[in-house]
Amino acid sequence: MPPTQSQEDLAIRLVLAVKRLRARVRETWPTPVQSLPTSQLAILKRLRDDGPTTAATLAGAEHVSQQAIAQHVATLRGAGLVKTRRDPDDGRKTLVSITKRGLKLFDAVAESRNRWLTRAISAQVPAKERAALARAIELLERLASSPDSDAA
89: amino acid identity, one letter = D
Q: Does domain 5-144 have CATH number 1.10.10.10?
A: yes
Distance CA 74, CA 68 (A): 10
What number of other Cβ atoms are within 10 A of residue 64's Cβ? 16
Mean pLDDT computed over 124-139: 96
Q: What is the pTM of this model?
A: 0.68
Tell me what pLDDT residue 32 has: 63
Tell me what pLDDT residue 55 has: 93
Tell me what pLDDT residue 15 has: 92
What are 73-126's pLDDT values in tens digits?
999 999 999 999 998 888 888 999 999 999 999 888 888 888 999 999 999 999
Tell me what pLDDT residue 152 has: 47
Q: Is the pLDDT of residue 151 over 60?
A: no
> DSSP of 95-107, one letter per residue?
EEEE-HHHHHHHH
What are 1-57's pLDDT values in tens digits?
567 779 889 999 999 999 999 888 878 876 666 677 888 989 999 999 999 999 999
Q: Do the Cβ atoms of 98 and 47 come closer than 8 Å?
A: yes
Identify the sign of the CA torsion 110, 44, 18, 138: negative
